[in-house]
Amino acid sequence: MARAGVVRDGLARSLATVWLVVATVGCPVAWADPDPSHREVEIDPGTIDTDEPDDVDEDLGPTPTESDSDPADPVEDASGGPPSGQEIAEGVIEDAATRPENRTLARFRELGVEIGTRYRLGIGIAAGFPPSVTLRYAADPRRAVALHVGPTMVTTGLHVRLQYEQRVAELRTWAFGTLGLTWNIGVVASLVFGQEVDGRPIRPGITTGLGVELAFGVAPAAVFGEISPVLYPLDLFPATRTAFLPAGLTVVVGARWYLDVGRRGRRRP
């Protein structure tokens, strides 16, 4: 038994010696980089020249930083590529909207100045035949009722015209507004002061015609023009005929500014 133990201990020491030799010699061979270019090169610190090169230009100036870059220059996004055309366009639009001269326009667009939604009551003037002060209430963007009051052109009196107006077509649209075609129908009354027209102080009539209206999308305002024939039906009959012609013509151009009198429940945010 003692001899077997000595043999076993000797065999173990031999195996341990062989493993140590293989590990010492084989590991550097196994982990060696087959590509000589990747091998580490030992450099003698005494051979490194720490002096600055003579051809370095000291007047290169500060290194540009993010704050020194031009905002107009395209900047790479988070993915590392250049910004897309849409991102550049959005940046240009945002930059234009922040300019002082465009803040008012942006505010009007934000509030929503479409005539007939929040801005319903228009106040303005009209020049032409006959001239007048005008009020207009827009029930919605297409339908409205307009009142014109001004001097009569053939007698001393007051001309009153009340008419229903409807926007029937969009003729052209620009960035600042829309030009629409309107149709109207209404009643006319000439109130005569200080005299009578063949015994009648009031000369009634009916009117219908066409007009155009340029409604601005950046402000609660509009300019308009109108041409409408007028018929005085009482002048068609011999018993009620006057010295004036039974027909006339309304030709005016004007402008209105609209006030915010929209219903609270329908206001835009």
Report d(CA 26, CA 40) in Å as an integer.
19
- Which residue type is seen at 100? P
Mean pLDDT of 37-52: 53
Q: Where do we find the tokens 């649209």? A: 173
Q: Where do we find the tokens 């009648």? A: 200
Mean pLDDT of 10-15: 60
Mean pLDDT of 222-239: 94
% of the chain with per-residue pLDDT over 90:
38
- Token pair for 239: 């018993």
- The DSSP secondary-structure symbol of 197 reads B
Asked if pLDDT for residue 229 goes beyond 90, the answer is: yes
Q: Where do we find the tokens 């870059």? A: 69
Question: Among 3-7, 28-32, 117-121, 165-169, whose mean pLDDT is lowest?
Answer: 28-32
Which pLDDT belongs to residue 156? Answer: 79
Radius of gyration (Cα) for the chain, nearest Å? 46
- Residue 92's contacts (CB-CB under 8 Å, 6 or more residues apart) are none
Most confident residue range from 60-64, 111-115, 220-224: 220-224
Q: Where do we find the tokens 């329908």? A: 266
Report d(CA 96, CA 269) in Å as an integer.
23
Coil, strand or helix at 234: helix
Continuous segment of H or E residues that includes residue 87:
helix 85-97
Mean pLDDT of 88-105: 54
Report d(CA 131, CA 211) in Å as an integer.
16
Mean pLDDT of 94-110: 52
Residue with more model confidence, 214 or 46? 214
Domains of the chain: 119-259 (2.40.160.20)
- Token pair for 265: 């429940």
Please report, for residues 123, 131, 144, 227, the alpha-carbon distance to residue 166 in angstroms, rounded to integers and kept in the order given.
18, 22, 6, 14
Mean pLDDT of 57-78: 51
- Residue 247's contacts (CB-CB under 8 Å, 6 or more residues apart) are 229, 230, 231, 232
Residue 166 near residue 158 (C-beta atoms within 8 A): no
Which pLDDT belongs to residue 134? Answer: 98
Residue 164 near residue 184 (C-beta atoms within 8 A): yes
Which pLDDT belongs to residue 230? Answer: 96
Which pLDDT belongs to residue 193? Answer: 76
Question: Among 74-83, 123-132, 180-189, whose mean pLDDT is lowest?
Answer: 74-83
Asked if pLDDT for residue 76 goes beyond 60, the answer is: no
Q: What angle, rounded to 10 degrees, do the helices at 85-97 and 100-111 form?
A: 100
Report d(CA 261, CA 268) in Å as an integer.
12
Residue with more model confidence, 70 or 265? 70
pLDDT in tens, 181-219: 999 999 999 887 766 556 678 889 999 999 999 999 888
Mean pLDDT of 82-97: 58
Asked if pLDDT for residue 155 goes beyond 80, the answer is: no
Which pLDDT belongs to residue 201? Answer: 80
Q: Where do we find the tokens 């934000």? A: 110
Which pLDDT belongs to residue 60? Answer: 54
Residue 27 — very low, low, confident or very high, per pLDDT cuts 50/70/90?
very low
pTM of the model: 0.58
